[in-house]
Amino acid sequence: EKQHTVVIVGGGAAGISVASSLHKRDSSLDIAIIEPSQTHHYQPGWTMVGGGIFKPESTSKPMAAVMPGFAVWYKQSVSSIDEENNQVVLADGSKIGYQALVLAPGLELNWSGIDGLKESLGSNGVSSNYQEGMASYTWATVQNLKSGRALFSQPPMPIKCAGAPQKAMYLSSDYWLRNSVLNNIDIQFHNAGAVLFGVPDYVPALESYIEKYGIELNYQSTLVAVNGPAHKATFRRTDPNGNTVDREIGFDMLHAVPPQRAPEFIRDSRLANESGWLDLEDDTLRHKHHSNIFGLGDVSGTGNAKTAAAVRKQAPVVAENLLANLRSQPMNAAYLGYGSCPLTVENGRIVLAEFGYNGALQPTFPSWINDGTKATKAAWYLKAKQLPALYWHVMLKGHEWLAKPARR
């Protein structure tokens, strides 16, 4: 049996960042990363690909290029965790022992939650920026559409980057406006939830764009089925009496987002909370019932916005607390729930939502540099020009610029 001091499950945004943050604090630490994929994706770039701003190839790198040289890389997936024996079980049945475990496998897109969606993607105007490689089809469809109906759907929360379903809608609408076809297109937003955005401070700015683009808003309207060849989508509505009504709507373009859940090996384990997400303490990011298990990123059951921006603040907290724990010292670092969602309301302006637990605003910049409740050019510049480099060269490398953990 193989054994490592720290085993990290997942080599995405969270797994690589936390490995680098650990190594920065103790370069002699024996770290293994378990990650089956040959490619690492910068998913925040997919919205920009869908809006024709980024080239698809700028959003990924070979996994080997981001995998830190100090870590042992197992190119497999984890099939289960044996927390009683401090072991993870890999897909081929082999086991790896750990002293401390970090769970960072992200989340699972539940395509089967919407009948016919997965098969429909990539033709008949049906797309999703959430599917790897599909954002360029969103952009092609947007450019081709000159009239007709465009539907944008948002599934029940929680999802990663909660603003991304409407980001796709605003960037598409902006393109149609600039090309003088907006008036010929009936744009509808169908949101399973009851509000435009979960943090009220950002809603007025978003509403002004809804008005500008003439978008019809539908709340508690959940996409349940798609028929690509027939160009029809079925939405389920729950009325105040709890009765459901299904409505079929024809479309020329459909940007759909699937419901999301924790990966099965977490969801079906004793490490999950009642909703299936990893059951972590809000501030320390340590498992509620296992003192040598930590977690971060999209798999986490903490109430923050599931974003790479959250990971940037979580990684140093996990690194510091995990090392303190290995040395039997108290855990002092605290995560305050920071997450960020740059809402691309038009090509050239962004509403930069930054908030922590319970919607508490946590702006990085003073309001004279960037007022997060308004659409600004400064925030667009940050997203389009700075954040990709921040991701690849700062966060993944363990440089904790503006990410110093709070104290407990």
Note whether 154 binds ligand FAD by CB under 6 A: no
Out of 8, 22, 32, 46, point to the residue binding ligand FAD (CB under 6 A): 46
Note whether 13 binds ligand FAD by CB under 6 A: yes
CA dihedral 308, 313, 317, 320 (to 10 degrees): 100
Under rule CB under 6 A, which residues in 89-108 are in contact with ligand FAD? 104-106
Structure tokens at 319: 């690194």
Under rule CB under 6 A, which residues in 250-309 are in contact with ligand FAD? 263, 265, 297-298, 306-309
Note whether 311 binds ligand FAD by CB under 6 A: yes
Q: Which of 13, 161, 226, 315 is catalytic?
A: 161
Adjacent-strand bridge partners of 90 = 78
In this structure, are residues 235 and 219 in contact, taking their beta carbons and an 8 Å threshold? no
If we measure between CA atoms, which residue out of 376, 347, 387, 377 comes closest to residue 139? 347
How far from 385 is each of 45, 57, 76, 268, 377, CA to CA, in Å?
11, 16, 34, 40, 12
C-beta of 307: minimal distance to ligand FAD in Å? 3
Residue whose entry in the numeric block shows the structure tokens 């020329």? 252
C-beta of 288: minimal distance to ligand FAD in Å? 19
Minimal CB distance to ligand FAD: which residue?
12
Total residues at interface with ligand FAD (CB under 6 A) = 36
Note whether 78 binds ligand FAD by CB under 6 A: yes
What whole-number distance in Å separates Cα of residue 304 and Cα of residue 318? Answer: 15
What whole-number distance in Å separates Cα of residue 254 and Cα of residue 228? Answer: 9
If we measure between CA atoms, which residue out of 116, 130, 132, 341 comes closest to residue 255? 130
C-beta of 74: minimal distance to ligand FAD in Å? 8
Which residue lies nearer to ligand FAD by CB, 227 or 370? 370
In this structure, are residues 122 and 134 in contact, taking their beta carbons and an 8 Å threshold? yes
Note whether 206 binds ligand FAD by CB under 6 A: no
Which residues lie below 8 Å from residue 210, measured CB to CB, with a gap of 6+?
Answer: 189, 196, 217
Under rule CB under 6 A, which residues in 156-175 are in contact with ligand FAD? 160-161, 164
What whole-number distance in Å separates Cα of residue 65 and Cα of residue 58? Answer: 14
C-beta of 211: minimal distance to ligand FAD in Å? 24
Catalytic, 69? Answer no
Q: Which residues are catalytic?
A: 161, 341
- Give me the residues that bind ligand FAD (CB under 6 A), please: 9-15, 34-37, 43-44, 46-47, 77-78, 104-106, 129-130, 160-161, 164, 263, 265, 297-298, 306-309, 311, 340, 342
